[in-house]
Amino acid sequence: MLSTTIKSGDWKGEKHVPVIEAPDTFKPGEEIEVKVSIGKEIPHPNTDKHHICWIKVFFQAEGKPPFEVGTVEFNAHDEDHKLFSSYKGSVYFKAETAGKIQAVSFCNIHGLWENEKEIKLA
Protein backbone atom coordinates (compact mmCIF):
# COMPACT_ATOMS: atom_id res chain seq x y z
CA MET A 1 0.00 0.00 0.00
CA LEU A 2 1.13 3.49 -0.78
CA SER A 3 0.10 4.73 2.67
CA THR A 4 2.74 2.53 4.30
CA THR A 5 5.54 4.17 2.30
CA ILE A 6 4.73 7.82 3.03
CA LYS A 7 6.96 9.25 5.76
CA SER A 8 6.22 12.14 8.11
CA GLY A 9 8.03 14.11 10.77
CA ASP A 10 8.52 17.57 12.20
CA TRP A 11 9.60 19.93 9.41
CA LYS A 12 11.83 21.76 11.91
CA GLY A 13 14.03 18.66 12.17
CA GLU A 14 13.43 16.82 8.88
CA LYS A 15 14.32 18.52 5.58
CA HIS A 16 11.88 16.49 3.43
CA VAL A 17 8.63 17.30 5.27
CA PRO A 18 6.46 19.92 3.55
CA VAL A 19 5.84 23.10 5.52
CA ILE A 20 2.21 24.30 5.38
CA GLU A 21 1.44 27.96 6.04
CA ALA A 22 -2.29 28.70 6.06
CA PRO A 23 -4.77 30.52 8.28
CA ASP A 24 -6.00 28.72 11.40
CA THR A 25 -9.57 29.83 10.65
CA PHE A 26 -11.58 30.93 7.62
CA LYS A 27 -15.11 32.00 6.67
CA PRO A 28 -17.20 29.70 4.43
CA GLY A 29 -16.60 30.55 0.76
CA GLU A 30 -13.57 32.70 1.57
CA GLU A 31 -10.47 32.15 -0.58
CA ILE A 32 -7.78 30.32 1.38
CA GLU A 33 -4.11 30.78 0.51
CA VAL A 34 -1.89 27.82 1.33
CA LYS A 35 1.86 28.37 1.10
CA VAL A 36 3.92 25.19 0.88
CA SER A 37 7.67 24.83 1.02
CA ILE A 38 10.51 22.44 1.76
CA GLY A 39 13.61 23.22 3.82
CA LYS A 40 12.38 26.18 5.85
CA GLU A 41 14.59 25.22 8.82
CA ILE A 42 16.97 22.68 7.24
CA PRO A 43 17.80 23.17 3.54
CA HIS A 44 17.18 20.23 1.22
CA PRO A 45 19.74 19.54 -1.56
CA ASN A 46 18.82 20.85 -4.99
CA THR A 47 21.05 19.07 -7.49
CA ASP A 48 20.60 16.96 -10.61
CA LYS A 49 21.06 13.86 -8.48
CA HIS A 50 19.06 14.81 -5.33
CA HIS A 51 16.04 17.10 -5.36
CA ILE A 52 12.36 17.59 -4.54
CA CYS A 53 10.19 17.01 -7.63
CA TRP A 54 6.81 18.30 -6.44
CA ILE A 55 4.41 19.08 -3.58
CA LYS A 56 0.74 18.12 -3.88
CA VAL A 57 -1.85 19.87 -1.71
CA PHE A 58 -5.13 18.27 -0.64
CA PHE A 59 -8.10 19.46 1.41
CA GLN A 60 -10.05 16.94 3.44
CA ALA A 61 -13.35 18.38 4.64
CA GLU A 62 -14.67 16.88 7.87
CA GLY A 63 -16.19 13.46 7.14
CA LYS A 64 -15.07 13.46 3.48
CA PRO A 65 -12.15 11.92 1.56
CA PRO A 66 -9.21 14.18 0.60
CA PHE A 67 -9.49 16.18 -2.63
CA GLU A 68 -6.47 17.49 -4.53
CA VAL A 69 -6.53 21.29 -4.77
CA GLY A 70 -3.16 21.90 -6.40
CA THR A 71 0.35 20.79 -7.31
CA VAL A 72 3.57 22.78 -7.26
CA GLU A 73 6.30 21.31 -9.50
CA PHE A 74 10.03 21.97 -9.24
CA ASN A 75 11.48 21.18 -12.66
CA ALA A 76 14.75 23.13 -12.71
CA HIS A 77 17.74 21.24 -11.26
CA ASP A 78 20.37 22.15 -13.84
CA GLU A 79 23.87 22.34 -12.42
CA ASP A 80 25.43 23.07 -15.84
CA HIS A 81 23.38 26.26 -16.25
CA LYS A 82 23.15 27.09 -12.53
CA LEU A 83 19.35 27.08 -12.73
CA PHE A 84 17.42 25.71 -9.76
CA SER A 85 13.78 25.81 -8.67
CA SER A 86 12.97 27.20 -5.23
CA TYR A 87 11.03 24.74 -3.11
CA LYS A 88 8.03 26.95 -2.44
CA GLY A 89 4.69 27.83 -3.94
CA SER A 90 1.09 28.78 -3.19
CA VAL A 91 -2.24 27.12 -3.82
CA TYR A 92 -5.63 28.83 -3.46
CA PHE A 93 -9.06 27.31 -2.88
CA LYS A 94 -12.45 27.96 -1.28
CA ALA A 95 -14.21 25.66 1.17
CA GLU A 96 -17.50 25.66 3.05
CA THR A 97 -16.54 23.42 5.98
CA ALA A 98 -13.62 22.92 8.34
CA GLY A 99 -11.08 20.23 7.61
CA LYS A 100 -7.42 19.41 7.08
CA ILE A 101 -4.92 20.71 4.57
CA GLN A 102 -2.58 17.89 3.63
CA ALA A 103 0.67 18.23 1.70
CA VAL A 104 2.71 15.41 0.15
CA SER A 105 6.19 15.99 -1.28
CA PHE A 106 8.35 13.70 -3.41
CA CYS A 107 12.15 13.48 -3.11
CA ASN A 108 13.73 11.60 -6.01
CA ILE A 109 15.91 9.62 -3.56
CA HIS A 110 13.97 9.43 -0.28
CA GLY A 111 10.41 9.11 -1.59
CA LEU A 112 7.14 10.53 -0.28
CA TRP A 113 6.75 12.79 2.78
CA GLU A 114 3.61 14.29 4.30
CA ASN A 115 2.34 16.92 6.69
CA GLU A 116 -1.09 18.27 7.60
CA LYS A 117 -2.73 21.27 9.24
CA GLU A 118 -6.26 21.61 10.57
CA ILE A 119 -8.25 24.70 9.68
CA LYS A 120 -11.50 25.67 11.36
CA LEU A 121 -14.43 27.90 10.56
CA ALA A 122 -14.19 31.40 12.00
Ranges of H-type helices in the chain: none
- Active-site option among 15, 51, 56, 77: 15
Task: Choose among 111, 113, 115, 47: nearest CA to 76.
Answer: 47
- Active-site option among 88, 110, 116, 117: 110
Q: Is 94 a catalytic residue?
A: no
Give residues with Cβ within 8 angstroms of 59, minimum separation 6: 66, 67, 69, 93, 95, 99, 100, 101, 102
- Active-site option among 44, 51, 56, 77: 44
- Active-site option among 12, 27, 50, 94: 50
d(CA 39, CA 56): 16
- Active-site option among 51, 56, 77, 107: 107
- Active-site option among 16, 51, 56, 77: 16
Q: Is 16 a catalytic residue?
A: yes
Q: Is 51 a catalytic residue?
A: no
Active site residues: 14-16, 44, 50, 107, 110
